[in-house]
Amino acid sequence: MATESSKVVPLTCHGHSRPVTHLSFSSVGEDDQYYLISACKDNNPMLRDGITGDWIGTFVGHKGAVWQARLSADANIAATAAADFSAKVWDTHTGECLHTLTHGHIVRAVAFPIQLNPQVLATGGAEKKLRIFDLSRGGTSSASSPTSTSGSSAGANGATSAATSYEIGPDVHGGTIKSIIWNQDHNIITTACEDRKIRWWDLRSRHPIVEHAVDGNIGSCELNTLSTTTNDPGVLSVAAGKSAYFFDGGNPGVLLKKVDFKYDVASVAVNSSIGKFVTGHVNDTWAHVYDLETNEELEVQKGHHGPIWSISFSPDGKIYGTGSEDGTIKLWKACREPYGLWR
């Protein structure tokens, strides 16, 4: 039976000119405010108001497709991973590029610690290397400043960072690292790799604790937590092949359930507080909403004109965002009560 939320028109966020590859929300801050950052193949990640979808700024400086973008828990800085062989760190208030972290190949993934000082960043990509950068060490050397696309866009100073880094587990990954997740336990990092393996790493030993092989190519890997719940370990959701995997966010390698579909799953996100999960599929343009316990399909949300590559629930679980091949982001209401612009 369709719920009330299915009758509500989604908010459509325009601005990108190419496929949206990744979405990520910040935690809830002062005045119950939170933010949304999007990565896109148009080279220009965007920052938005997480509740209304209103555009705040565009981070200008990458010279290749941006594959992933994340905000620190306090939303004061952002990190982006791009095809120009770099990861960049940005000041979200001024749009200034604080660090450019050069790599030897395409960077596909970035991650901040959930709770600690966000002066530490994990990166990974086609180099097959999981790196940890200490952003507080080493200065930056200014390079030529690229031109901002508009007066209100966030600019970049082109700074190249001398931040120190070290590699975790050399020669273990058998392919491109597609996603990195920093767990609630800040000593544990999860990687999703093109070799079809999810690995949990202990930063103290720099070795994997456990790994789990999945049955197909990995589309998305995200830790779904509610920042309104203290120390919520969350659920790690993975889209791979024709399946969605849900792992215990507090216990590395523990599979809670696996759900199989007829078609390849491109993306998945879960909200355990309302008992639902949402998937995007490679061969259609819809967001499918399911009951987490029974796997029954509850709703089919139509509106995109291309596959949905990224899905993310807001930190309070009230809405979820979808990023599509069609270059748009849509925000969908996931609660029954009036919320945001749906009041």
DSSP assignment string, 33-63: --EEEEEETTS--EEEETTT--EEEEB---S
CA 249, distance to chain mean position in Å, is 16
- pLDDT one-digit tens code per residue, 14-45: 999 999 999 999 998 888 899 999 999 999 99
| Per-residue pLDDT at 275 | 95
pLDDT of amino acid 161: 60
When pLDDT is averaged across residues 239-248 and rounded to a whole number, the result is 98
User: How far apart, in Å, are the Cα atoms of 235 and each of 50, 100, 133, 201, 242?
Assistant: 21, 31, 26, 17, 19
More confident residue, 206 or 5: 206
Average pLDDT over residues 259-273: 96
Tens of pLDDT, residues 137-191: 754 433 322 222 222 334 444 556 667 889 999 999 999 999 999 998 999 999 9
Closest by Cα among 98, 5, 107 to 65: 107
Buried-state track 313-328, b at ≥16 Cβ within 10 A, e below 16? bbbbbbbbbbbbbbbb
Beta bridge partners of 82: 66
Specify the pLDDT at position 231: 74
Q: Does domain 4-342 have CATH number 2.130.10.10?
A: yes
Q: What is the structure's pLDDT at 162?
A: 61
> In terms of pLDDT, which residue wins out, 282 or 73?
282
pTM of the model as a whole: 0.90
Q: How far apart are CA 127 and CA 262, in angstroms?
A: 33
The pLDDT assigned to 230 comes to 62
| Domain extent listing, the chain | 4-342
pLDDT number for residue 148: 27
Quick one: average pLDDT of 232-246? 95
Cα angle: 70, vertex 74, 78; to 5 degrees:
30
Mean per-residue pLDDT of the chain: 89
Closest CA to 91 of 71, 68, 62: 71
The Cα–Cα gap between 14 and 136 comes to: 35
> Distance between CA atoms of 323 and 304, rounded to whole angstroms?
9
* Measured CA distances, 120 to 4, 98, 152, 250 (Å): 42, 13, 29, 21
| Closest by Cα among 71, 196, 192, 49 to 121 | 71
| CA neighbor of 74 nearest in space, from 133, 116, 23, 127 | 116
If 0-12 CB within 10 Å is exposed, 13-18 middle and 19+ buried, where does residue 40 land? buried
pLDDT at 332 over 50: yes
List beta partners, residue 319: 333
Provide the 10 A C-beta neighbour count for residue 57: 20
Quick one: which of 212, 192, 209 has its CA closest to 201? 209
What is the per-residue pLDDT for 228?
A: 62
Tell me which amino acid residue 208 is.
Answer: P
Cα–Cα distances (Å) from 315 to 29, 35, 36, in that order, read 10, 9, 10
How many residues are given for the chain?
Answer: 343
* pLDDT score for 343: 82
